[in-house]
């Protein structure tokens, strides 16, 4: 199911098409979707290393004011606070903030938590020295609005840092698997993995940057219990998967087909040797952009 060329299937984002229709508001449905499962457990077990990496890449330090967009439970935000910055963590789904507050408290740091839409941030122009987003803002359907907002709230001479899944990496196959069972996304919505295309990032930010560094890297997700346990973990912790399975509950044939396809994906994508914990290597693009001073 891997995408190729100009990001085949790019009109199918992962966020919105996996949302069970709960209301007439796509934003409300997206918020409800990401509140399901146990996002903090997912983040700490699978992508927690993104936080310190992005903080280090952006050079976050004491005295800076930092905004982390689509923070989840504070992966990047908490690490920025540990580096001495004054931090605002914002997300469309505030239900995940309580876990973030507990994590921050356990680490001895404080930060502000604000409900916010990445496409319309409730902050003034040039408020922050550093603006970050780790595999978060990419799920908003309007990429240009997100890029414009990240730039708007970042001060002159400031830094914007992102970690984005790539269209050539395993995440595209993962998202494509679930998109095949989900409703069609809203017209014009873009795939989150397009944010992992260097050309797409350049187009979004245009000529508004002093510098733009992009580096392709990878990380590994591990499942000690093997491919089946990997599927079970996402089925219980990852909100979009939980939502999609709930939406298919009255269609047992489709749900069973999804389960078979997911297990097939997890089995075929496992790069570990037999008898070892399952391993899944995901490629991402580390983006560090500097605004003109």
Mean pLDDT of 285-292: 98
| Strand-pair category, 128-134 with 65-69 | parallel
Alpha carbon distances (Å) from 161 to 69, 131, 157, 219, 286: 10, 6, 13, 18, 8
pLDDT one-digit tens code per residue, 140-192: 999 999 999 999 999 999 999 999 999 999 999 999 999 999 988 888 899 99
Q: Which domains does the chain have, with CATH numbers?
A: 16-290 (3.40.50.150)
With a cut of 90, say whether residue 19 has pLDDT above it. no
CA distance linking residue 156 with residue 125, whole number of Å:
10
- Given this model, what pLDDT does residue 24 score? 55
CA distance linking residue 293 with residue 157, whole number of Å:
4
Quickly count: other Cβ atoms within 10 Å of residue 33's Cβ. Answer: 27
Per DSSP, the chain holds a count of helices (H) and strands (E) of 11, 7
- Given this model, what pLDDT does residue 185 score? 84
**Cβ(168)–Cβ(139) below 8 Å:** no
The confidence band for 26, taking pLDDT boundaries of 50, 70 and 90, is confident
pLDDT one-digit tens code per residue, 68-127: 999 999 999 999 999 999 999 999 999 999 999 999 999 999 999 999 999 999 999 999
Which residues in the chain belong to E strands, given as ranges? Answer: 65-69, 86-91, 112-115, 128-134, 154-165, 211-223, 278-290
**Cβ(52)–Cβ(80) below 8 Å:** no
pTM reported for the whole predicted model = 0.92
With a cut of 50, say whether residue 2 has pLDDT above it. no
């Amino acid at each position: 199911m891997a995408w190729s060329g100009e990001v085949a299937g790019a009109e199918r984002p992962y966020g919105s098409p996996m949302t069970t229709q709960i209301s007439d508001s796509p934003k409300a449905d997206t918020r409800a979707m990401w509140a399901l499962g146990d996002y903090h457990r997912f983040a700490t077990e699978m992508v927690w290393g993104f936080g310190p990496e992005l903080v280090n890449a952006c050079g976050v330090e004491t005295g800076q004011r930092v905004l982390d967009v689509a923070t989840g439970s504070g992966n990047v935000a908490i690490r920025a606070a540990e580096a001495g910055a004054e931090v605002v963590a914002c997300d469309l789904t505030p239900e995940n903030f309580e876990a973030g507050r507990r994590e921050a408290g356990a680490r001895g740091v404080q930060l502000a938590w604000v409900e916010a839409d990445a496409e319309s941030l409730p902050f003034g122009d040039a408020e922050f020295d550093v603006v970050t987003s780790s595999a978060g803002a990419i799920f908003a359907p309007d990429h240009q609005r997100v890029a414009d907002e990240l730039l708007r709230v970042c001060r002159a001479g400031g830094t914007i840092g992102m970690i984005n899944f790539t269209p050539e990496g395993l995440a595209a196959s993962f998202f494509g698997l679930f998109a095949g069972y989900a409703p069609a996304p809203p017209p014009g919505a873009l795939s989150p993995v397009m944010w992992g295309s260097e050309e797409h990032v350049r187009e979004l930010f245009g000529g508004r940057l002093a510098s733009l560094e992009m580096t392709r890297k990878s990380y590994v997700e591990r499942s000690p219990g093997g491919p089946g346990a990997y599927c079970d973990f996402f089925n219980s912790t990852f909100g979009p998967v939980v939502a999609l399975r709930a939406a298919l509950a009255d269609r047992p044939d489709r749900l069973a087909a999804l389960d078979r396809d997911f297990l097939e994906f997890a089995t075929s994508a496992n790069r570990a040797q037999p008898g070892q914990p399952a391993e899944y290597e995901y490629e991402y693009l580390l983006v560090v952009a500097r605004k003109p001073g």
